[in-house]
Amino acid sequence: MMNLEKTIEALKSNRMDVHYVRTAEEAKALALSMIPEGSTCVSGGSVTLAETGIIDAIKNGAYHYIDRSLPDLTQEQKDDAMRAAFGADFYLSSANAITEDGELYNVDGNSNRVAALLWGAKNVIVVAGVNKLVKNLDEAVLRVKTVAAPRNAARLSCNTPCAKLGHCISLERNGGMTDGCKTPARICANFTVMAYQRHASRVKVILVGESLGY
Ligand code: SF4
């Protein structure tokens, strides 16, 4: 396992709040305790958030959850729901990888998720299992190309090479971070690193001592 203590200290030195809990259940309780009743909440699509039960709890709690996954929404309504993240009290997401240097690495296709992580939402809660911890950005890039992107592409039935190969096509030609397929379904468009934060404590990271999501 990566050096958990070092990661926690590095995230703190990058002015993010950090909490470590052992289980998904504890992560859910902690996340809910951070969000005052009545808060407007938006989330990115995240297997981790689904596995922890956090989104269901928010949907069923005393919060104003803006849900872009409701059936029968028009594309315009879905777009509006995604834009609502910029004015939300809380934006919830996981991360594709977290480094020992205290960086959050995320790759996005539509990119509403990375946009909201970077700016707009007053508070950001990032929930991540220890399987997301990596040593450095090189390992973060590799993690997305070998784990996160292929599994998400398969989950979302994206017609991309990685969904079939189990890894990014770029690895077959030793391509770098942004190298990849040239398909309209590509889920890797924007590559973001969150490091030292100007707005202290806006980003709250909950690290969970279990394997969660991709
Ligand atoms: S660039 Fe294309 S092949 Fe590579 S991981 Fe992303 S979607 Fe998959």
CA nearest ligand 1 atom 1, residue: 180
Ligand 1 pocket test: pick from 107, 156, 160, 178 the residue with the most ligand atoms within 8 Å of its Cβ: 160
Domain range for 63: 4-134+199-208
Ligand 1 pocket test: pick from 146, 168, 171, 179 the residue with the most ligand atoms within 8 Å of its Cβ: 168
CB 205 within 8 A of CB 10: no
Structural domain count of the chain: 1
Residue ranges in 70-194 assigned as alpha helix (H)? 75-83, 112-118, 137-143, 149-155, 161-165
Ligand 1 pocket test: pick from 156, 169, 172, 182 the residue with the most ligand atoms within 8 Å of its Cβ: 169
**Rounded to an integer, what distance in angstroms lies between the CA atom of residue 42 and that of residue 28?**
16
> Does residue 140 fall inside a structural domain?
no
CATH number at residue 20: 3.40.50
Q: Which atom of ligand 1 is nearest to the CA of 158?
A: 7
> Does residue 121 fall inside a structural domain?
yes
- pLDDT tens series, the chain, 214 aa: 579 999 999 999 999 999 999 999 999 999 999 999 999 999 988 999 999 999 999 999 999 999 998 889 999 999 999 999 999 999 999 999 999 999 999 999 999 999 999 999 999 999 999 999 999 999 999 999 999 999 999 999 999 999 999 999 999 999 999 999 999 999 999 999 999 999 999 999 999 999 999 9
> Does residue 158 fall inside a structural domain?
no
CA nearest ligand 1 atom 4, residue: 168
Kindly give the distance from the C-alpha atom of residue 146 to the centroid of ligand 1, in angstroms, as a whole number.
10
> Does residue 103 fall inside a structural domain?
yes
Q: Which atom of ligand 1 is nearest to the CA of 169?
A: 3
**Rounded to an integer, what distance in angstroms lies between the CA atom of residue 105 and that of residue 75?**
28
CA nearest ligand 1 atom 2, residue: 181
